[in-house]
A and B are shown apart, each in its own frame.
Chain A
Amino acid sequence: MKHILLCDDDVTILRAAEIKLTRAGYRVTTYPDGQAALEAIQRELPDMIISDCQMPRMGGLELVRKLREDERTRDVPFLLLTGKGFELPIEDLRRDYGVLGVIGKPFSPREVLQIVETTLAASV
């Protein structure tokens, strides 16, 4: 069973994405900030990470930067889920950190599931 890690400080968002992915047969773990997620990732490497940008303690951009510095976590697919999509330098993120893309809030859980399925199918 593929493991998806969700990271967002908004519980309602976490829960919605969690439900959609769980129903589709994924194992989902959720964390309220980047620091908690990073610690969990270092314990157990997920198959994919979906994270918000603005979070307490550690934001999504800092999280992906830290992940790419570590050899073990360098290649985990990383997707941003944020309301600040248009303010981010998406091309730079793609090039420098291999960020798959940015899903803007409000988002469609269906779309998230679709991206997860395509990504994981390609990485198999």
Chain B
Amino acid sequence: MNLARQITLGFFLLAVGVTVGTGWLALRDAHDGGLVTFAAITAGIMLGAAAWQLFVVQRERREHVVARRFLEQLLHQAETGSGIAPNDSYPRIHHASPWKKPLERIFEYISTSQDRKLVLESAKASAEIRLQRASSQAEWMESVLANIGVPVLALNAYDEIVLANPDAESLLKIRAEGTERRSLPRVIGNERLTNLIYDVRRRAVATVRTDDLELEDNTGHRRWYRATVGKLPATDKGPDSGGALVVLRDVSVEHSMQKQHAEFVSSASHEMKAPLAGIKAYVELLADGDAESEAEREEFLGVINGQTDRLQRLIDNLLNIARIEAGVVKVSKQSRSINDILAEAAGVVQPTAEAKHIKLVSDLSPLYLGALVDRDMMSQAVINLLSNAVKYTPDGGRVTLRSRLADQELLIEVEDTGVGLSEEDCVKIFEKFYRVDKDKNMAAGTGLGLALAKHIIEDVHGGKLTVRSKLGVGSTFCISIPHVARAS
């Protein structure tokens, strides 16, 4: 009970006392006007105090209602979690009200916790965004690594594998073991690779080293990989820094090309040595006076001349093949009559065939067969096929040159009754320097004639050169090139 109410109540009780006292005196001495007046005044004061008291009680009741509503509202908001809206205001409460202080404190508490909640919520939202961004970035990085098409491996400073993309896992036979750290020598069976990694890791300065390794891929084929191992810089960002990054690149194609190149050089020099050996030997015989007659001198000189021609042919063929393969050959294609080219080529081979009593038959189409060809090259290819046929056909045999039109394609066939080829040889015969061993003594070739013919037909003219053959029966080489009708 506050002081104001106590004073009001004091005044009220005093006024009641004075009013009763003066009223009794006034009734006893009915004519004392002064007393009556005094009693009336005190009665007025008493009424005033009672009215005031009534007003105060009324006000307090109203404040109770307001406070109760306010508290109910707060309770409702707390229960529903809707919180106080920013524009919600503190209820109007009289400064003397006993509700004022506690309500003020509650309101203050709620509005600061409201602020705190807002701050927390926005922090939570931004953290969620960051987390999402980071995880999507990690996912993105993982998908980049998975699709990079190259085995990639990362190791930490303790030589544990912290990252291996699927290519690396399948190549190095690393099984995904979840987050468990996998130590290097236990996982990578290849000693050369582990040594390379250790070597890089031991170095104080950042180093990148490479080594070529032969590894078995997941289809069981052995392939060459170039391992590039780089030391990762040490940072203070945890134990995964300061390791090594391993990238493996498939270099099998380079390796096989290098090998092919070396084999080619070896075969080419071997083929060149044969005529060179003849030349050197016979020059020396002549110089030593080993020729006992003029005829023998002529024979020696003839051998030297023939071997020189062979060397010349070999070099020409080599250069032609190299030019075609490098794409630097000058090709001048024009619409030509194939039959004319074939007749000419047959004319070139005719003397050799006659010398071996081989019948060279030309079975050419009566139609005009036009094709877009480089005359010299096409002629060279046909001559190579014809002279091979003559070379590998025994005396008295037959070589047939055919031409015909079949479904927009020109077919040229060179058929012989020669020694024939095995199935395996039919495939290998077009390789450079491939010679069928058993027939080698039949002819001194360069081993390049068919390779050159295939290049001319397929690479220069967009056609196809194939062979079908039967051992001991004969072979048929077939050229097909696109047909071009004669320009009207």
One of A56, A57, A106 near B280 (C-beta < 8 A): A106
Does B184 have its Cβ within 8 Å of any Cβ on chain A?
A: no
**Bound-state Cα–Cα, A83 to B270, Å:** 6
Would you call B273 an interface residue if the criterion is a C-beta within 8 Å of the partner chain's C-beta atoms?
yes
Instruction: Give the docked Cα–Cα distance between A15 and B282 (Å).
Output: 9
As a 0/1 sequence over residues 1 to 32 of chain A, the CB contacts with chain B under 8 angstroms (1 = contact) are 00000000110110111011001000000001
Asked if A72 is an interface residue, CB under 8 A from chain B, the answer is no
Supposing A20-B290, A106-B280 touch, asked if A56 and B437 sit within 8 A by C-beta, the answer is yes
Total cross-chain contacts (CB, 8 A): 70
Partner of B273, one of A12, A23, A105, A110: A105
User: Are A16 and B278 in touch, CB under 8 angstroms?
Assistant: yes
Produce 1/0 per residue, A78-107, CB < 8 A to B: 000001100100000000000000000111
Chain B binding surface, main DSSP class: helix
Whether B274 and A109, one on each chain, are in contact in the complex, defined by CB atoms closer than 8 angstroms, is no
Q: How far is the CA of A89 from the CA of B437 in the complex (A)?
A: 23
Query: What are the residues of chain A within 8 A of B438 when measuring CB–CB?
Result: 56-57
Is B284 an interface position by the 8 A CB rule?
A: yes
- A84/B270 contact (C-beta < 8 A), A56-B440, A106-B279 known: yes
Q: Mark B274-287, 1 if CB is under 8 A from A, else 0.
A: 10111111101100
Most chain B CB inside 10 Å of its own CB: which residue of A10, A17, A84? A10
Give, as a whole number of angstroms, the nearest-CB distance from B147 to chain A.
45
Closest CB of chain B to A111's CB: distance in Å? 9
Could you tell me if B274 and A16 are in contact, using CB atoms closer than 8 angstroms? no
Residues of B within 8 A of A12 (CB): 277-278, 281-282, 303, 306-307
B441 within 8 A of A: yes
Given contacts A12-B307, A13-B278, A83-B277, contact A108 B441 (CB under 8 A): no
CB-CB < 8 A to B288: which residues of A?
20, 109-110
Q: Cβ of B277 and Cβ of A105 under 8 Å apart?
A: yes
Interface pair A106/B277, CB less than 8 Å apart: yes
- Chain A residues contacting B270 (CB-CB under 8 Å) are 83-84
A16-B441 in contact (CB<8A): no
* Contact partners of B277 in chain A: CB under 8 A: 10, 12-13, 83, 105-107
A108 touches B303 (CB 8 A): no
| CB within 8 Å for A13 and B441 given contacts A20-B290, A106-B276 | no
CA distance A119 to B284 in the complex (A): 22
Min CB gap A67→B, angstroms: 21
Q: Is the CB of B281 within 8 A of A13?
A: yes
User: In whole angstroms, what is the CA distance A98 to B257 when docked?
Assistant: 37
Contact present for A20 and B278 (CB under 8 Å): no
Question: For B285, what are the chain A residues with a Cβ–Cβ distance below 8 Å?
Answer: 16, 19-20, 109
Contacts of B290 in A (CB 8 A): 19-20, 23, 109
If A12-B303, A33-B441 touch, does A108 touch B273 (CB 8 Å cutoff)?
no
* List of B residues within 8 angstroms of A105 by Cβ: 273-274, 276-277
Pick the contact of A83: B274, B303, B307, B440 (CB < 8 A).
Answer: B274
Once the chains bind, are A110 and B441 in contact (CB under 8 Å)?
no
B307 partner residues in chain A, CB cutoff 8 A? 12
How far, in whole Å, are A9 and B266 apart by their CA atoms in the complex? 19
Interface string of B116-146 (1 = CB under 8 A from A): 0000000000000000000000000000000
Q: How far is the CA of A32 from the CA of B270 in the complex (A)?
A: 18
Please state if A107 and B280 are interface contacts (CB–CB under 8 Å): yes
Contact A107 B440 (CB under 8 A): no
Are B281 and A10 in contact, with the CB atoms below 8 A? no
Inter-chain CA distance A83–B281, complex, in Å, is 14
Give the chain B neighbours of A10 by CB distance below 8 A: 274, 277-278, 444
Q: Report which of B284, B303, B440 forms a contact with A9, defined as CB distance below 8 A.
A: B440
The answer to whether A56 and B441 touch across the interface, beta carbons within 8 angstroms, is yes
User: Please, which residues of chain A bring their CB within 8 A of the CB of B282?
Assistant: 12, 16
Residues of A within 8 A of B439 (CB): 56
A83 CB contacts on chain B under 8 angstroms: 270, 273-274, 277
Instruction: Let me know if A17 and B281 touch, CB within 8 A.
Output: yes
* Shortest Cβ gap from B14 to chain A (Å): 140
What is the CB-to-nearest-CB distance from B440 to chain A, in angstroms, rounded to a whole number?
5
- A12-B306, A17-B281, A110-B288 known; 5 new pairs, CB 8 Å cut-off, are A13-B278, A23-B290, A56-B439, A105-B276, A108-B280
Q: List 5 A-B contacts (CB under 8 A).
A: A13-B281, A16-B278, A56-B437, A105-B276, A106-B279
Sorted nearest first, the 10 A-B pairs with minimum C-beta distance are: A16-B281, A83-B273, A106-B277, A106-B280, A105-B277, A12-B278, A106-B276, A56-B437, A105-B273, A56-B438
